[in-house]
Amino acid sequence: MTGDGRWRPGARTHYDVLDVPFDAEPELIRRAYRAAAVQLHPDRNAEDQDAATMRMSRLNAAWAVLGDPDQKRAYDRELFGDVDQPDELDGFRFDADDLQSAIHSPRFRVGVAAILLVVLLVIFVFTAYAGAGAPTRP
């Protein structure tokens, strides 16, 4: 992670420890933890107890965070900023609160003003052009 708490590519996360994607369902996370726990447990790796214990403690820490929905949400917020869980629509959830904040943002207002300006300019040019060829009354 960077100094501001953001995830940087290449950093090892709990998702890397469990070898699951960031948008993994809870069932996939649970299955990945159980499979890794069976494989990495110190009782199964008697030749190097210290390394096995270290790997198992990392695995348990990842499961403690990703296995709990509230802790997972807080961890994701720490990694990615103040963004909710990814959704089907291009990775971001969009709801009524997002729409309200988008409408009241300066970027939205500048965009709408630019569109209105272009529309008014087109209307002005069209009426000026159409008015030039219109017959005049005596």
How far apart CA 79 and CA 8 sit, in angstroms, is: 8
Classify domain 1-91 by CATH architecture.
Answer: Orthogonal Bundle (1.10)
Q: Would you give the end-to-end CA distance of the chain in angstroms? A: 79
Q: What is the pLDDT of residue 115?
A: 92
Give the domain ranges of the chain. 1-91, 95-138
pLDDT in tens, the chain (138 residues): 444 444 445 557 888 888 888 888 999 999 999 998 888 777 777 777 777 788 888 889 999 999 999 999 888 888 877 655 444 445 555 566 666 676 677 777 788 888 999 999 999 998 888 776 666 666
Question: pTM of the full predicted structure?
Answer: 0.51
How far apart CA 132 and CA 126 sit, in angstroms, is: 10
Contact, 13 vs 86, CB < 8 A?
Answer: no
CA proximity to 40, closest of 61, 21, 23: 61
